[in-house]
Amino acid sequence: MIGSAARPLCFRGEGNEGPLPYFDQKKAWMDKHVYDRWWNDVFLPAVRQRHRGAKCALTMDNFIHP
């Protein structure tokens, strides 16, 4: 999930973590910084844990690489 608030009100307090990883970005858009954090902190660890060296494909929609 991407939102503009650094700590959304709904996630504040003990035990109020969201069900998905949350990233903040000024306009709540996926940019290269959010993508890099997601890639390294969420996607790669999950793939490494589940696939243990097997090949994996990632399909993305509307991905524009500068």
Summarize pLDDT for 19-28 with one digit per residue, the tens: 778 888 888 8
- Give the chain's end-to-end CA distance (angstroms, integer): 23
Q: Answer whether residue 45 is part of any domain.
A: yes
Q: What is the pLDDT of residues 11-57, one digit of tens each?
A: 777 667 777 788 888 888 888 898 899 999 998 898 888 888 788 88
Q: Answer whether residue 40 is part of any domain.
A: yes
Q: Answer whether residue 41 is part of any domain.
A: yes
Q: Answer whether residue 66 is part of any domain.
A: no
Structural domain span for residue 45: 2-7+19-51
Q: Answer whether residue 56 is part of any domain.
A: no
Q: With beta carbons less than 8 A apart as the criterion, state whether 41 and 21 touch.
A: yes
Residue recorded with tokens 């306009």: 27
Q: Answer whether residue 59 is part of any domain.
A: no
Number of folded domains in the chain? 1
* Ranges assigned E (strand) in the chain: 2-3, 23-24
- Overall pTM > 0.85: no
